Amino acid sequence: MGKSLTREEMRELDRKAIEEYKIPGIILMENAGRNVAEEVLQMTDNPQKTKVAVLCGKGNNGGDGFVVARHLHNHGISVDVFLVAKVSDVLKDGDAGINLQILLTMEIPVKEILNIADVNNILRELDRYNILTDALFGTGLSGEVREPFKTLIHGVNTLKKSVISVDIPSGLDCNTGCVLGVAVRATKTVTFAVSKKGFYLGEGPNYAGEVVVTDISIPKELLTL
């Protein structure tokens, strides 16, 4: 299993990288998203015939997803972003907002999901994609998944598509591996810097799929503390 961290430990690791080592958060986000995109590319036999949907929440995990979409687009993959929030709200939000604005400038499609009716419409559309990228919630989630995320995640699981989760399957508790009402059942989870406790506890092994730990440029001195 190797080293693994709780959400609190990972939050502190990020804080030290940003505040003490002066690494801008947007650089960590860029590295994270690029690494996930590279893993998606490895899952495609024919990029020109592959369609990828990136499901994003409004936080930094969604910001990682925006970066994923940009890199896939630059590699010639047909990619659409489905945002469970208002675009106008996310544009106000620092690093995630910056990366969303880049997508809009590049004219990469970003579709809002604001209620369960939108979810039901989107689920029919998602069936036409080869790979789904889960960037809804990050490691910070600790409460029960609410609507419309709950219906969306349940629907994604019923589609039986290849799903790659960004950092953690959305809805899985980072510390305990408990399912917070509902969780994405990932084919592969690309996690950042260090693995997470919840992947190996409770229901974690049934939801994380193949776990890939990637370097996002957090100084190695912090990883050995």
Range of the structural domain that residue 99 is part of: 4-218
Q: Is residue 225 part of a domain?
A: no
Single pTM value for the model = 0.95
Q: What are the backbone dihedrals phi and psi of residue 8, each rounded to the nearest 5 degrees, phi first?
A: -65, -40
Q: Is residue 224 part of a domain?
A: no
- Spatial neighbors of 166 by CB under 8 A, at least 6 apart, are 32, 33, 36, 61, 64, 65, 68, 133, 134, 135, 138, 190
Written as six digits, the tokens of 8 are 């609190």
pLDDT at residue 89, rounded to an integer: 95
Q: Is residue 101 part of a domain?
A: yes
**Mean pLDDT per 10-residue segment, the chain (225 residues):** 86 94 96 98 89 96 98 96 97 94 97 96 94 96 95 96 97 97 98 96 97 95 81
Q: Is residue 223 part of a domain?
A: no
Task: Report the alpha-carbon distance of residue 37 to residue 175 in Å, rounded.
Answer: 26
- How many structural domains compose the chain? 1
CATH code, domain with 118: 3.40.50.10260
Q: Is residue 174 part of a domain?
A: yes
Q: Is residue 29 part of a domain?
A: yes
Q: Is residue 30 part of a domain?
A: yes
Cβ atoms 136, 153 nearer than 8 A: yes
